[in-house]
Amino acid sequence: MLYIGTGDGRSPDRSQDKADLAGKILRVTPDGDVPGDNPFPGNPVYILGIRNTQGFDWFDGGTMVITDHGPSGEYLGREGHDEVNVARAGDNLGWPTKWSCEEADGFVAPSITWREALPPGGAALYRGTAIPEWTGALAIGALRSEHLQIVHFDSEDRRRVTGHEVYLAGAHGRLRDVVMGPDGHLYVTTSNCDGRGTCGAAKDAILRIVR
């Protein structure tokens, strides 16, 4: 199936409206049809309550791990609190009703949130062998804070974070996309020429992460 992450389009209430495609993870067939086993019949919405996801991956066929932007930049003046969520079909991540570490019935609380804004770009679960201690951890490109964040999860309780680490801090500027390559290595793109970073003579780059 094809999965599509959408932002709220600066209209936060759209994220809670199942009839609106904004602020969601959408799931469609490769031809664009709605799969018969989607959580809301006839609806491409798979997970709702998202502000702006740029990265997600799968622990297994039914469990996703999703990064989402916190409220930085919205009109209420709140900052930071980007988050990582572990969710399944039909889950609601809460935006804009709940954010940061707030919990409430009917909403999935984040597994981890950061007080200072990252904010998160792309993300991928590490499945390589070059850095075995990262196996099963989520690698996240951080934009404004300019680092690679590695988040580790409990193998028995995927929603429980057991640790997180920072790499490449300030070494390559803003980090955007993060993917596992067919060679088993992690690849990260920089995003310094997007109008928000410092675009040097070398422009942007694709980094291959090894020990």
Domain residue spans in the chain? 54-209
Q: Give the per-residue pLDDT at 78.
A: 85
Residues of the chain with pLDDT under 50: none
pLDDT of residue 96: 94
Neighbours of 150 (CB within 10 A): 19
Local structure of 132: helix, strand or coil: helix
Residue 170: strand, helix, or coil = coil
Q: What is the pLDDT of residue 13?
A: 96
Q: CB count, 10 Å around CB of 148? A: 21
pLDDT number for residue 77: 80
> Backbone dihedral region of 173: left (phi > 0), alpha (psi from -120 to 50 degrees) or beta?
left
Tokens representing 135 are 């196996």
Longest CA span, the chain: 51
How far is 60 from 87, CA to CA, in rounded Å? 11
What kind of fold does domain 54-209 have according to CATH? Neuraminidase (2.120.10)
User: What's the confidence (pLDDT) of residue 79?
Assistant: 87
